[in-house]
Structure 1
């Protein structure tokens, strides 16, 4: 279950990164960094149990693990943002899935995280976005956005790219 302390920890970390990056401001960008984008557009999620039919993915491959499953299951949504694991008490850039109730489904870590804050993406949009990259790997939408010359920082995320989840946790 998400606690206000753990969510606050993620938000504080992201805000610190924003303050650091603003020192190097780019007037041509809507957002100074992806942390600012996540603070603006992200939603907090509680962890749900992983459905028994879903297998845990490869360690350190959260983006790949979750993109592949989301592409094959209409009831799950790919999410990128920051999370705190049960093992490492700090905010980590991470990818996970969300179910139709807006709960986080962890496919990479052994245990569900204790807090999640991220942006739920439309599967159709993610597929099209990654296809334009013309690469065989499954990079993070955000971390790999240098390939699109940081288009998401310049313009923000298109409205059609974000999915509204049923039980979004108010931050």
Structure 2
């Protein structure tokens, strides 16, 4: 991961852009989340392979005010683009994976906003569509973010 961080920070963003790619955005303003198995010990209720849709629906319907989180998950073999829900305690609630990833780094977004943007643009937020391109250029509007998870340590 250190090589990835170093190589990303050495690549300049396009003129007029704040970030070179979604990983650089995540490393700047993303949050770390703590993995855990699905509550109650049973399998998660979501459809495997549909993490973006399942997570935004689960977060939107949550009475606990879950954030929709999109980012990367370390599986033990590789990093994978993924989405999950994040609680106020920074714990991952992953509605589509039977076994949680080993580490989660993501951008926690208000579920209502994530749902609207994903519906309008027909893309996840950090996939290289309209929303991601705007956020790479201009940054993520602060009012869209939810203060959950842990900041990446400076060192």
Which residue of the other structure, out of 119, 125, 130, is the alignment partner of 1:141?
125
2:23 to 22, 35, 39: 35
Note if contact 1:45-1:103 (Cα within 8 Å) is conserved in structure 2: yes
Aligned to 1:50: 38
* Alpha-carbon displacement from aligned partner over 1:114-163 (angstroms, at most 9, x marks no partner): 11111111113213323432x4xxx32110x5234710111010001110
Structure 1 residues 16 and 59: CA distance shift in structure 2, 3 A = farther
* Residues 37, 98 of structure 2: 8 Å contact kept: no
Residues 52-71 of structure 1 aligned to structure 2 (within 5 Å): 52=40, 55-71=44-60
Could you tell me the TM-score, scaled by structure 1's length?
0.76
User: 1:169 Cα shift?
Assistant: 5.7
**SS at 1:150's partner residue?**
helix
Q: What per-residue deviation string (whole Å, max 9, x for no partner) do you get for residues 15-39 of structure 1? A: 266258x26x411211110010000
**Paired position in structure 2 for 1:80:** 70
CA 164–123 in structure 1, closer or farther in 2 if over 3 Å, else same:
same
Q: Could you tell me which runs of 5 or more consecutive residues in structure 1 were left unpaired when the two chains were aligned.
A: 1-8
Write the mapping of 1:13-32 to structure 2, written as runs, cut at 5 A. Answer: 14-15=4-5, 18=8, 22=11, 25-32=13-20
Q: Which residue of 2 aligns with 1:159?
A: 142
Q: TM-score when scaled to structure 2?
A: 0.83
Conservation of the 8 A alpha-carbon contact between 1:57 and 1:65: yes
Segments of structure 2 that go 5 or more residues without pairing to the other structure are none
SS at match of 1:49: coil
Residue 129 of structure 2: SS of its match in structure 1?
A: helix
SS in structure 2 of the partner of residue 95 of structure 1: strand
What residue number does 1:168 align with? 150
CA contact (8 A) 2:37 2:99 kept: no
Please report how far the alpha carbon of residue 48 of structure 1 lies from its aligned counterpart in structure 2 after TM superposition.
Answer: 2.6
CA contact (8 A) 2:50 2:96 kept: yes
Match of 1:99 in 2: 87
